[in-house]
Amino acid sequence: MTPFETPETQHVDPNCIFCKIVSGELPSRRIYEDDRAVAFLDIGAWHRGHSLVVPKRHIPDVVSGTSSLPEIAPAVDAVARLLMHRLAADGINLLSSAGQAAGQEVFHLHVHVVPRYADEPGLRSLVNPGGATDDELDSVYRQIQAGA
Ligand code: AMP
Ligand code: ZN
């Protein structure tokens, strides 16, 4: 039994969209999974390949409950490298917001992993509110999957 396999690890919030994505009740473009974490494409992508890494158990944010970041750190590491490699990105931003004051909208811990490209417009802006179309998301999803 690992330190994470306590009853708390099983905690699911029935009203949480990320818990539903983890369980498969809601669809997602899943790009990575290990025993403690799942990663999928963000439907409102700021930049091509923008992904979210979430713990499998429901934890509201990075400062709630027991130390939660270590259990998803290997997934963040793996996803950042996966996106750099498969999408030929030139850089990566990592971001995790805790609390409404920080702009958090979904209260299940997540780390944004955002590939960045040297030739992209608006290079300095991390949050690109333009989002992405379904076709754009499907296209980048296929590209990430292609090297699997
Ligand atoms: P935050 O503001 O840090 O709480 O970010 C929440 C993120 O979740 C936003 O970037 C949304 O685009 C993303 N998001 C919300 N619902 C979904 C979903 N069903 N699938 C993928 N990403 C989502
Ligand atoms: Zn949840």
Residue 83 CA to residue 77 CA, distance in Å, equals 10
Would residue 2 count as lying in a domain? Answer: no
* Ligand 1 atom closest to the CA of 131, numbered from 1: 12
Total domain count, the chain: 1
Would residue 88 count as lying in a domain? Answer: yes
CATH number at residue 72: 3.30.428.10
Is residue 70 within 8 Å of 2, Cβ to Cβ? no
Would residue 122 count as lying in a domain? Answer: no
Q: What is the pLDDT of residue 122?
A: 59
* Ligand 1 atom closest to the CA of 104, numbered from 1: 4
Mean pLDDT of 7-21: 83
pLDDT in tens, 17-63: 999 999 999 999 999 999 999 999 999 999 999 999 999 999 999 99
Start-end of H helices in 87-130: none
Q: How far is the CA of 49 from the centre of ligand 2 (A)?
A: 22
Question: Domain containing 88: what range?
Answer: 7-117+127-146
Mutate to test the pocket of ligand 1, among 25, 32, 52, 96 (most ligand atoms within 8 A of CB): 52
Closest CA to 110 of 16, 20, 18: 18
Would residue 63 count as lying in a domain? Answer: yes
pLDDT in tens, 70-104: 999 999 999 999 999 999 999 999 999 999 999 99
Residue 109 CA to residue 87 CA, distance in Å, equals 25
Would residue 69 count as lying in a domain? Answer: yes
Mutate to test the pocket of ligand 1, among 43, 50, 53, 126 (most ligand atoms within 8 A of CB): 43
pTM of the predicted model, to two decimals?
0.90
Would residue 57 count as lying in a domain? Answer: yes
Would residue 95 count as lying in a domain? Answer: yes
Would residue 78 count as lying in a domain? Answer: yes
Q: What is the pLDDT of residue 32?
A: 98
DSSP 87: T
